[in-house]
Amino acid sequence: MTDKKSDDGKRDEQAVRETVEEQAQGAEGEANAETPAEPGEAPDLQAQLEEAQAQAAEYLDGWQRARAELANFRKRNERERSQWQIELRAEAIESLLPVLDDFDRAMDNLSDDIREHDWVSGIALIYRKFQTQLNELGVREIPAAGEMFDPELHDAMMSREEPDTESGTIIEVLRKGYTLNERVIRPALVVVAS
């Protein structure tokens, strides 16, 4: 019985050795397959490096273009938003100018007997405050009376003979004109000497 056990042990040991040798040969075969036997067959690492660098440069170029497009988009968007705000402000102020015209006419036509009344003083204070607020927003009155006619700033309603006045000089303002940050929001309506 002992002989049989020792024979079985030898056979098992032999089988284990054969399995280990087979595995070692298989691993050696795989290693040989990964590295070519011939030195000329080695992969060209320099070519692979150049290809990777070219691809990286292409990606970098695409990224830089996308970044520049985003920066341009942001600038354009900011310009458009700024322009939009100016347009809205101009529309709002233009709608308030008739109120300012009414204040101007009322203050110019006050009779002397009520000019010093407390109520009129309060209205005059509101009028000055309204003018101050418009001024802080960038609204300026267009100079007209006595100036030379400028079609960009003035709108001539009529011309009149004035013997002592140079032709093209504004002799009367029918309605004040205003600018908002150097942009004309309403031209002055004027009478021009001919």
pLDDT value of position 175: 92
pLDDT value of position 100: 92
| Tens-digit pLDDT profile for residues 7-57 | 565 666 666 667 656 665 655 554 444 444 445 544 688 889 999 999 999
Q: Which domain holds residue 187?
A: 140-194
The list of the chain residues with pLDDT below 50 reads 2, 30-38, 41-42
Our count of domains for the chain comes to 1
Separation of first and last alpha carbons in the chain:
144
Q: Which residues of 18-47 are buried (b: 16+ CB within 10 A; e: fewer)?
A: eeeeeeeeeeeeeeeeeeeeeeeeeeeeee
User: Phi first, then psi: what are they for 156, rounded to 5°?
Assistant: -80, 120
pLDDT value of position 165: 83
Q: Is residue 92 part of a domain?
A: no
Beta bridge partners of 18: none
By the 8 A CB rule, do 126 and 106 touch? Answer: no
Cα 137 from Cα 153, distance rounded (Å): 19
Cα 156 from Cα 189, distance rounded (Å): 6
pLDDT value of position 23: 61
Q: Is residue 167 part of a domain?
A: yes
Cα 161 from Cα 159, distance rounded (Å): 7
Q: Which of 148, 130, 152 is nearest to 139 (CA)?
A: 130
pLDDT value of position 131: 92
Cα 133 from Cα 123, distance rounded (Å): 15
Q: Is residue 34 part of a domain?
A: no
Q: Is residue 188 part of a domain?
A: yes
Q: Residue 42 carries which side chain, given as an amino acid letter? A: A
Cα 50 from Cα 30, distance rounded (Å): 29
Q: Is residue 124 part of a domain?
A: no
CATH number at 144 reads 2.30.22.10
Q: Is residue 57 part of a domain?
A: no
Question: Whole-model pTM?
Answer: 0.59
Q: Is residue 181 part of a domain?
A: yes
Q: Is residue 108 part of a domain?
A: no
